[in-house]
Amino acid sequence: MTPRLQDEIRQTRPFASLEQEAFLSCGRTWAVLEHAFSEGIKPYGITLTQYNVLRILRGAGQEGLCRAEVMERMIAQVPDATRLLDRMEVAGLIERKRDAADRRFVTTRITSHALRLLQEMDRPVQALHRRHLGALDQPELRRLIDLLGRIRAAI
């Protein structure tokens, strides 16, 4: 039997609307997924946000991206991107280089150390995704992706 959100959060009164219940259910589901994923990658010494940045920079290749481009591609917005990147640079996960012609432009690239780390994480991360979303079959996953995309497009 599928657990009801109302029971999970111990809400005794009905939701104000179906939209409210759906909204809260999305939030609760993300919170559960985020926590489980964060716990799954904890042994690798990085956070979910750092993993997201590294995934983006790996996809960008050797050209790298500027800070604004990295932040535009993030799954969830972060309040202080510069400090996040500062910490990642100190940890040896990224490197930044100022443009010689325009010193204001800084390119961020993934380091070889971080590339090896992501390669080591690839299979375990895929296993986490399968475990976390394995309750749905392929057509259900496609439908979920489509429905979530429709919601984002409407906003």
Instruction: Give the domain ranges of the chain.
Output: 46-133
pLDDT at 155 (0 to 100): 94
What mean pLDDT is predicted for residues 140-151? 97
pLDDT at 115 (0 to 100): 98
**Segment 67-125, tens digit of pLDDT:** 999 999 999 999 888 899 999 999 999 999 987 777 778 999 999 999 999 999 999 99
Q: How many Å apart are CA 38 and CA 42, to the nearest integer?
A: 6
Buried/exposed code over 13-32 (b: 16+ C-beta within 10 A; e: otherwise):
eeeeeeeebeebbeeeeeee
Q: Average per-residue pLDDT in the chain?
A: 94
Q: Any idea which of 19-23, 50-54, 101-105, 144-148 has the lowest mean pLDDT?
A: 101-105
pLDDT at 8 (0 to 100): 87
Residue of higher predicted confidence among 146 and 6: 146
pLDDT band at 127 (very low <50, low <70, confident <90, very high): very high
CA 42 to chain centre: 14
Residue 47 three-state SS: coil
Share of the chain above pLDDT 70, in %: 99
| CATH class of this structure's domain 46-133 | mainly alpha
Radius of gyration of the chain (CA): 19
- Scanning the structure block, which residue is given the tokens 């991107």? 81
Beta-carbon contacts of 100 under 8 Å, excluding residues fewer than 6 positions away, are: none
